[in-house]
Amino acid sequence: AMAAKNSTNGKAGQAAGTQAPGTVTREFLFDYLIVGAGFSGSVLADRLARQSGKKVLVVDKRSHIAGNAYDHYDNSGVLVHKYGPHIFHTNSREVFEYLSQFTEWRSYEHRVLASVDGQLVPIPINLDTINKLYGMNLTSFQVEDFFRSVAEPQEYIRTSEDVVVSKVGRELYEKFFRNYTRKQWGLDPSELDKSVIARIPTRTNRDDRYFTDTYQAMPLHGFTRMFENMLSHPNIKVMLNTDYREIQKGIPCREIIYSGPVDEFFDNRYGKLPYRSLEFKHETHNQSVFQAAPVVNYPNEQLYTRITEFKYLTGQEHNKTSIVYEFPRAEGDPYYPVPRPENAELYKKYKELADNTPGVHFVGRLATYKYYNMDQVVAQALTVYNSISAKQKSAGMR
Ligand code: FAD
Ligand code: UDP
């Protein structure tokens, strides 16, 4: 509250270090103002404080750290992810080892079922999906032939529709992907970059894991605990429930790390960048198990896309169980950039502005408008840190 008052009289930053009349030197309380306490902001806070000895102030407008990865114990004592299911997976040894400084892990391989034609079948589509769906008994070789017989090869794969239809044909596309995507994005797959649906592979074996990365694990005591460890350092101060714009003028910092939406930073100068939102409906049930898999996708029925049952993810034992439904929304907190050509064009203009804003580093899913998983955000933040620290070394400053 005090900081907010200072920012309105605008003098706080100039009060310190006054020498002669008319000569005012600014004294910086912090080297870095870090906007956002999610993965991007917290990785940079850690590196700048622990590795470079910088003083940092991390500000988040929410009432908690950890950004969208935030988890907490609900009223019944079940550990839940406030912003939907977060499953950690990566092929990067560097990222995994980096995070391992702050948490122990519990091995966890994620599995998802899709509700299609009245059955629950594995997604990504694999051999068992096809056999169950069509009441067949194909081998891996035969299912390859089956896919070839239904596929509609395309000369050029551009959209998310092309990705699926070219591999498994229109019928499977319609059963598993078309409606889910229309619900999730409010767009037809033909209007979305191929990268969106390309996240989901097609398999001819019986592997029913959602991810195949080398490292697949959940933080043993949850994401929030891991973030607490990252941010626990004498050079790191955390200020919650605060939009950085409330305190920016009152608390002078040398440079800024920004992980909020990039268009918002520039007051939507070129118009708003579309971000897809979700509404989460959390429930606790008085039974120990709710559904047959950690996540069940509903491509064709219901207004929600999927239901997650958290105990599968966390390994917690409890006589109750908590779940979350995800209802896609156009308005609300920004969760997903929307990968399509016109948005990439608009982002390019913001990126140019960002590149020409000295002293401000843009990092993360919202600030670089990239549909990144957690591990990709960590890798990006470590890269940003390395370039900051290389620049400082070459400038001879500490
Ligand atoms: P965020 O976590 O969004 O952090 C940005 C922070 O900045 C926020 O806390 C926000 O409050 C704060 N902020 C913004 N503007 C301001 C301001 N003006 N002043 C102060 N603070 C501000 N990834 C995976 O790897 N595996 C998964 O299973 C997975 N599942 C996901 C499921 C859902 C439903 C969603 C939405 C995402 C999922 N992700 C998953 C992606 C993951 O959430 C992101 O990669 C990661 O959280 C991005 O971190 P970030 O720091 O860039 O952004
Ligand atoms: N998708 C789909 N059907 C499914 C699962 C995914 O059509 O059963 C598409 C949909 O467009 C979705 C995208 O693939 O947005 C990526 O899915 P993922 O599960 O990776 O989404 P996230 O967990 O990031 O929300």
Q: Which domains does the chain have, with CATH numbers?
A: 2-106+218-272+337-395 (3.40.50.720), 112-197 (no CATH)
Ligand whose nearest atom lies closest to the CA of 373 = 1
Residues with Cβ within 6 A of ligand 2?
114, 123, 176-177, 180-181, 184, 196-197, 199-200, 297, 299
What one-letter code names the amino acid at 334? P
Atom of ligand 2 nearest to the CA of 176: 3
Distance from residue 255's CA to the centre of ligand 2 (Å): 37
Distance from residue 108's CA to the centre of ligand 2 (Å): 20
Phi-psi region of 118 (alpha: psi -120 to 50; beta: other; left: phi over 0): left
Burial of 41 (0-12, 13-18, 19+ CB in 10 A): buried
- Cα–Cα dist 48/43, whole Å: 9
Tell me, using a 6 A CB cutoff, whether residue 59 lines ligand 1: yes
Ligand whose nearest atom lies closest to the CA of 86 = 1
Protein residue whose Cα sits closest to atom 9 of ligand 2: 197
Distance from residue 344's CA to the centre of ligand 1 (Å): 20
pLDDT value, residue 231? 98
Atom of ligand 2 nearest to the CA of 180: 7
Distance from residue 136's CA to the centre of ligand 2 (Å): 26
Atom of ligand 1 nearest to the CA of 62: 11
pLDDT value, residue 397? 56
Omega before residue 124 within 30° of 0, cis: yes
pLDDT value, residue 396? 75
Protein residue whose Cα sits closest to atom 6 of ligand 1: 36
pLDDT value, residue 321? 98
pLDDT value, residue 18? 42
Tokens of 5: 């008052």
What one-letter code names the amino acid at 397? M
pLDDT value, residue 7? 37
Tell me, using a 6 A CB cutoff, whether residue 189 lines ligand 1: no
3-state secondary structure 321-365: EEEEEEEEECCCCCCEECCCHHHHHHHHHHHHHHHCCCCEEECCC
Distance from residue 328's CA to the centre of ligand 2 (Å): 12
The stretches in the chain having pLDDT less than 50 are 1-19
